[in-house]
Amino acid sequence: MNAVVADAIVVGAGIVGAACAAALAADGMRVMVLDSAFAGGGTTAAGMGHLVAMDDSEPQLALTSWSNRLWQERSRTLPPACEMDPCGTLWIAEDEGQIPAVEEKRARYAGHGIAAEAVDAAGLAKLEPNLRPGLAGALRVPGDSVLYPPAAARALLESALGRGAELREGVEVRAIGPKEVETSEGAFRAPVVVNAAGARAAALTAGLPIVPRKGHLVITDRYPGFCRHQIVELGYLASAHTMTSESVAFNVQPRATGQLLIGSSRELAGWDAAVNPRIVSRMLDRAVAFLPGLAGLSAIRTWTGFRPATPDKLPLIGRWNGVDGLWVAAGHEGLGITTSLGTARLLADLVAGRSPGIDPRPFDPNRAAAAAVA
């Protein structure tokens, strides 16, 4: 029998594992974090870094709005490398037909205490002069932000390390058993093991309903002031919700460097990481349709990443019934940067037996199996 090395072993040092490590260490637990590659290098390094209240479902809105509040509290202590920018979000209504959706979204957000204001066509043109004329309006959500995800993951890990956690990079977990992990460096034991291996989590825990959902991003050269908000089309949510084989939605982010990050696509393409020029061109056409001036700017890099997607678009957070001592924090699809802090707080509350800040039931990792039985 191997010796117990920690109170908790976290498998995966992406932003979700890093946040879990920070929360468990803040509770006084001795934490060991294992990553087969390096911290913040998985999907976290491929993401956009939009910290966004999102309302595909009530549980999603509860988790994203709670997480955004936690990010705001944390922003005071984040190092400059995290590039946290409280730029807010503009959800664009292309035509008058979408204006009722702006009002519905505003009302839903108000129900969760999220400030948001409807902006008319003239107001929108003033806020973002590079948008094409003729757009009907927008919903402005001033409390949303953007940050640089790999640096944020590092900062969360630093906070855990400062409380005595140990980070071991380049250590591959090959199997997770009851209160034990088998790794490329031998077996380690702990009463709590957290599977936070992102899109790869299902390879370690059979039965987790997570599949990779590929996304492309393009980044431009530096054009400071070209846009000031994260700008997203209202139709983005539909594109994220429907598990079609392929979808594209307009989403542009101003970076602290003056660069523009242009997204985004969704594709079920297995683990094929190659850039798909046809999808990039669809994505850019969509972006230019909203911001015509983009056509004259230089793009300097394009990449892909794999969102860890679940069938009901909600992450898996909590105790896994199948293996003694195993907890799951994975399956965050396109919102894992945002929801990492809420996830970690929820997980730490459940591990400690405290009453959690939001209803944990919609995130129960066993829900798919339970639904199948029912």
Ligand X SMILES: Cc1cc2nc3c(=O)[nH]c(=O)nc-3n(C[C@H](O)[C@H](O)[C@H](O)COP(=O)(O)OP(=O)(O)OC[C@H]3O[C@@H](n4cnc5c(N)ncnc54)[C@H](O)[C@@H]3O)c2cc1C
Applying CB under 6 A, which residues contact ligand X?
A: 11-17, 34-37, 41-44, 46-50, 172-173, 196-200, 204, 215, 217, 263-264, 305, 307-308, 330, 332-338
Other residues' Cβ atoms within 10 Å of the Cβ of residue 320: 22
Q: How far is the CB of 254 from ligand X (least distance, A)?
A: 13
Residue 141 or 196 having the CB closest to ligand X:
196
Residue 216 CA: distances (Å) to CA of 33, 58, 276, 306: 29, 27, 8, 9
Q: Toward ligand X, which CB reaches closer, 273 or 295? A: 273
Q: Which is nearer to ligand X, 99 or 180 (CB)?
A: 180
Report in angstroms how near the CB of residue 169 gets to ligand X at its nearest.
9
Q: Where are the beta strands (DSSP E) in the chain?
A: 8-11, 31-35, 50-51, 89-93, 117-120, 137-141, 145-146, 166-169, 173-177, 180-183, 186-189, 192-195, 211-222, 230-233, 246-254, 259-267, 299-309, 316-319, 326-330
Q: Least distance to ligand X from the beta carbon of 135, Å?
A: 22
Q: Give the shortest CB-279-to-ligand X separation in angstroms.
A: 11
* Nearest Cα residue to 317 out of 292, 289, 336: 336
- All residues at 6 or more sequence positions from 348 whose CB lies less than 8 Å from its CB, including other chains: 20, 23, 24, 26, 27
Q: Are strands 166-169 and 89-93 parallel, antiparallel or unpaired?
A: unpaired
Given the complex with ligand X, which of 48 and 326 has the nearer CB atom?
48
Q: How far is the CB of 190 from ligand X (least distance, A)?
A: 15
Q: How far is the CB of 147 from ligand X (least distance, A)?
A: 9
Nearer to ligand X, 200 or 367 (CB): 200
The Cα–Cα gap between 249 and 18 comes to: 29
**CA separation, residue 120 to residues 95, 104, 215 (Å):** 11, 15, 31
